[in-house]
Structure 1
């Protein structure tokens, strides 16, 4: 299940429909461009709380998944604590692999 989810995230990254890193993820949420926010399971509690609160406020789907290394690897970068999917269809496809 998790490999399939990470593969879908990789596809979204190749399509240019992902922003990563705390600042970019937060900016996408506030500009109503994010449809799904994924935070690494090993991110700090402050980071998780910050994104849980902002996604709840802006009504964006929120998921905790995997770890920083795997999240970064699947999008072709170094470790990432947070990523936002900026395409609604890809966000829904990723959510289906999680459920």
Structure 2
């Protein structure tokens, strides 16, 4: 649980640093512009949403992680969110490492 909390804190930090893109439309646009280092989808997102972003991230060769709940992400980010994209590779690598353990 500790690493999940660290990962959520890292999401909050990346938001404050201006390195987080939130919302389905904006994340898709950033993916197409190849500005993202990682896409994070809530574990309780709809199957259609997960499938769509799995396909898009594979096409654009961007890592995708399905983690947290919508509630946990929304609580950390201060607004309802299901999908976020990280633009900073350093944050993305650290988040991936935290989610693996």
Normalising by the residue count of structure 1, what TM-score does the alignment of the two structures yield?
0.95
- Please give the root-mean-square deviation of Cα atoms over the aligned residues, in Å: 0.8
Q: Deviations over 1:62-81 (max 9, x none)?
A: 0001111111221222x211
Q: Distance in 2 between matches of 1:28 and 1:71?
A: 19
Aligned pair count reads 98
Q: Which runs of 4+ in 1 moved over 2 A?
A: none
Structure 1 unaligned residues grouped into runs of 5+: none
Q: Distance in 1 between matches of 2:6 and 2:30?
A: 24
Structure 2 unaligned residues grouped into runs of 5+: none
Normalising by the residue count of structure 2, what TM-score does the alignment of the two structures yield?
0.93
